[in-house]
Structure 1
Amino acid sequence: MIQPHFIYATKNEMQSALTIKDQVSARMDNLSPKLRQAAHYVADHPEEVATRSLRYLAGITEMSPPTFSRLATTLGYKNYEALREDCREQISRQRLIFGEKARVLQESDSTEPAQGLFALRQAAAAIDNIKLLSQSIDPEKIEAVANQIVSARKVVLVGMMSSRPFVDYMGYMASMAFDNWQIFGAGVESVSSTLAGLDKSDLAIVISKAPFATRSIEIAKEISNRGARVIGITDKISSPLCIHCDTSFFVSTDSPQFFSSHVATLVLIESLMGTVVARSGEEVGRRIAAVETMSHRMGEYFENSL
């Protein structure tokens, strides 16, 4: 039987994660209906509070900014910014570094054999991540982004550290179908010349997940400043990538091992690439066939591989 995947956290981290909710719960009975509504939102969405502007929260909740300011002072904060800072600290405390996760993994392997074969737990986590993706993905959003990619003059793929293999894979697939895609930093062009060549007719796909590569975030910012459309693939609403993106896709990376799982990311980029090719017309189909034929002629495929 496949065992459910596990999310590990120390006792102190679990207690810290309840800080905002504890403060809200302690004062809930004394809040007006409007403040109670705002309090529920803050307790349930600390990442939004930490990373989004007050105007954004007011718009998405259909409550006025002063409502959140009054809530902050009612909860004992000096002002709304103090509440935001507490949310930021809470999110920071919840993060487990790789080394700590590895230690927990080693301890659980020797003390909790009932969790079952690790391979089954890892598989269950990956399946859950894919299920979350399939449940949350908006088909219209995928189609809209695919159309934007098809109409872009140039498509640039950005990914550093653990995200780099995914842009390499996406770039390889794209090279069979298109001649206007490039992997940022893979050619002879300098960073500056690549950025200088982008404008509002171009599009970038940036992949960055926790812990976020500084270089990816900085490049996304510069591309956005150039007027190009930025599509982000990340794992958290609080991701520093989101603020620079026109559209963001979120993938779950939960894993019982020390490193994040990227299986859902793979499914997303394959789905996106398939949708782009499907919407690109007969010319792309002919190019793929021509590239495949040339690969056979050049001996790039093992003779009996098909």
Structure 2
Amino acid sequence: MNRSNRLQERVAEHYADLSIKLRAAADFVLENEMDVAARSLRAISAASGVSPATLSRLARALGFESYEELRELCRDSVGGRTHSFSERAQQLRDGLDADSSVFERQASACISNITNLVDTLDTDRVQNAVNALADAQSVVLFGAFGSTGIVEYMAYLANYFSPTWTLAGRMGASLGTSLASLGPEDVLFVVTKAPYAARAVRAVEAAQEIGAKTIVISDSHACPAIKFATFPFIVPSDSPQFFSSYAATLTLMESMVAMLVAQSGEGTSERIREVERHNQRLGDFWVD
């Protein structure tokens, strides 16, 4: 895993079990890694309003032996990504000039998110998640609020090459029905971003209890579904608008679909050809 993502992953793993005070301290550290790397414990305490003792407790709660060990990881993280941060900062500055358009600002944010994803993505985890999808007897997809259409798009792509992927909780279908059919050989794939859908969090928790594998794509270590995920992915979603950007999320999801098809056998290609033959027979696509 890239160094720049190690601390965020560790915070995400423990976040749900932290006290309110320790969560606030963790949020500050993640938002100010460069300061934590460069400044003393006393200076960070003054800047954050968090006592040195609380910062030390945070380090131990995250599995570090001391605050200095946490600080060292921040140094590694900053050292490994300074150049890419500066490039992304320049892209954002170029898009935030007084005469910049909404399109320029949004495009800059999307480019930054995708670049950040490339820099921090745990490629081994992606491959393991893809393997789980390939081996699953069935895959259930779920998204709510802004994530609904994104998950439907993935279901559309998946149905070209597999008959075992289903979309939960849509068009009157019961999410509970989909969960009841899950077993240890299945996968639940959930996309949820702030404000997090309660049904999404509860669905991931229920799937974990059943023994199914779970894939969660979210936007923050604070997402309550992360702790129930077999394969959690925290994807950059920053936007100058009032909504989260899904550009990096789509990049990850489309890549996972491509990886599934690329490592599959001839049967997958034959199914795609068969779907296309039926589409042509039904006259689904416009032909001049």
TM-score normalised according to structure 2 size = 0.69
**What CA deviation, in whole Å up to 9, does each residue of 1:204-231 have, x standing for no partner?**
1110111111111111111111110001
Asked whether the 8 Å contact 1:158–1:205 carries over to 2, the reply is yes
Say whether 1:172 aligns with 2:150: no
Report the equivalent of 2:11: none
Instruction: Say if 1:158 and 1:206, in contact at 8 Å, map to a contact too.
Output: yes
Residue of structure 2 equivalent to 1:93: none
Question: Residues 213 and 230 of structure 2 are in contact (CA less than 8 Å); yes or no, is this contact kept in structure 1?
Answer: yes
Opposite residue 273 of structure 1, the aligned amino acid is V
- Please point out which of 161, 174, 199 is paired with 2:183: 199
Give the superposition deviation at 1:188.
6.5
Q: Read off the aligned partner of 1:141 and give its amino acid letter.
A: R
Q: 1:25/1:149 Cα in 2 relative to 1: closer, same or farther (>3 Å)? A: same
Structure 1 gaps of 5+ residues are 1-15, 30-34, 43-48, 69-111
What is the aligned partner in structure 2 of residue 107 from structure 1? none
Alignment match, 2:42: 25
2:221 is equivalent to residue 237 of structure 1 = yes
Distance across 1 between alignment mates of 2:178 and 2:216: 19
Match of 1:146?
Answer: 130
Larger radius of gyration: 1
**C-alpha distance in structure 2 between counterparts of 1:155 and 1:264, whole Å:** 22
2:113 maps to: 129
- Could you tell me how far 1:186 is from its partner in structure 2? 2.9
Residues 39 and 115 from structure 1, CA distance in 2 versus in 1: closer, same or farther, beyond 3 angstroms?
Answer: farther
Alignment of 1:15-94 (within 5 A): 24-26=41-43, 39=55, 42=58, 54=61, 57-58=62-63, 61=64, 63=65
Indicate the SS of the match to 1:294: helix
Q: Structure 1 residues 200, 27: CA separation in 2 closer, same or farther (over 3 Å shift)?
A: closer
Is the contact made by 2:42 and 2:52 (CA closer than 8 Å) also made in structure 1? Answer: no
**Structure 2 unaligned residues grouped into runs of 5+:** 1-26, 68-95
CA contact (8 A) 2:155 2:167 kept: yes
Secondary structure of the 2:215 match is strand
Does residue 256 of structure 1 match 2:273?
A: no
Structure 1 148/27 Cα, relative in aligned 2: closer, same or farther at 3 Å?
closer
Cα distance, 1:142 vs structure 2: 1.5
- Matched AA of 2:42: S
Q: What is the CA-CA distance between 1:25 and the residue it aligns to?
A: 2.6
- Deviation track 1:23-76 (CA, whole Å, cap 9, x = no partner) reads 9435879xxxxx98994895xxxxxx7xxx93xx12xx2x1xxx68xxxxxxxx
1:274 Cα deviation (Å)? Answer: 0.6
SS at match of 2:98: helix
Paired amino acid for 1:133: L
1:275 alignment partner, SS class: helix
Matches within 5 A, 1:154-169: 154-169=138-153
Number of equivalenced pairs:
224
Query: Aligned partners of 2:260 and 2:57: how far apart in 1?
Result: 37
Letter of the structure 1 residue corresponding to residue 221 of structure 2: I
Contact 1:147 1:279 in 2 (8 A): no
Aligned residue for 1:114, secondary structure, equals coil
SS in 1 for 2:216: strand
1:119 and 2:103 correspond: yes
For normalisation by structure 1, the TM-score amounts to: 0.66
The one-letter amino acid of 1:25's match is R
Q: Which residue of 1 aligns with 2:165?
A: 181
Residue 117 and residue 199 in structure 1: after superposition, are their counterparts in 2 closer, same or farther (change >3 A)?
same
- CA 1:223/1:299 → structure 2, altered by over 3 Å: closer, same or farther? same
Cα–Cα, structure 1 residues 118 and 170, in superposed 2: closer, same or farther, change >3 Å?
A: same
Equivalent position amino acid for 1:283 in 2 = G
Q: Pick the aligned partner of 1:300 from 238, 259, 284.
A: 284
Whole-Å Cα distance in 1 between the matches of residues 100 and 144 of structure 2?
A: 34
Report the AA paired with residue 288 of structure 1.
Answer: I
Q: 2: CA distance between counterparts of 1:272 and 1:179? A: 17
Residue in structure 1 matched with residue 202 of structure 2 by the alignment: 218
Distance 1:291 1:241, change over 3 A: same
